[in-house]
């Protein structure tokens, strides 16, 4: 069975987490989506690229989430979320998915 690339899982977690939080008005639900996608992606990163790479990508995932907040004040919420999700997807692809 083909797996969903970790880049898509990570980007989907950032976009989906924000979308769920915004549309349900329940930040906890958005956080749950963000956490589940992050844990899934981290598992794939560990399997494909090793523990050090998984740790670095996981830190990047959390940093992307954090960076979206101040960025949203400058460019708007959705552009910020899509921007950090794209950056995270590119990093995940380059480190873990490119040779998978």
| pLDDT tens, residue by residue, 24-38 | 999 999 999 999 999
In the chain, where the domains are located: 6-97
Q: For residues 29 and 56, what is the distance between their CA atoms, to the nearest angstrom?
A: 25
Q: What pLDDT is attached to residue 2?
A: 57
Instruction: Return the DSSP state at 85.
Output: H
Q: What mean pLDDT comes out for the span 48-65?
A: 97
Instruction: Note the pLDDT of residue 19.
Output: 98
Of the candidates 98, 94, 27, 95, the one whose C-alpha atom is nearest the C-alpha of residue 65 is: 27
């Amino acid at each position: 069975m083909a797996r969903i690339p970790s880049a898509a899982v990570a980007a989907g977690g950032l976009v989906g987490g924000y979308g769920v939080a915004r549309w349900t008005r329940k930040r906890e639900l958005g956080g749950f989506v963000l956490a589940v996608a992050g844990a899934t992606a981290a598992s794939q990163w560990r399997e494909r690229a090793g523990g050090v790479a998984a740790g670095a990508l996981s830190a990047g995932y959390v940093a992307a989430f954090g960076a979206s907040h101040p960025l949203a004040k400058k460019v708007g919420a959705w552009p910020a979320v899509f921007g950090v999700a794209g950056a995270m997807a590119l990093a995940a692809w380059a480190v873990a998915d490119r040779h998978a």
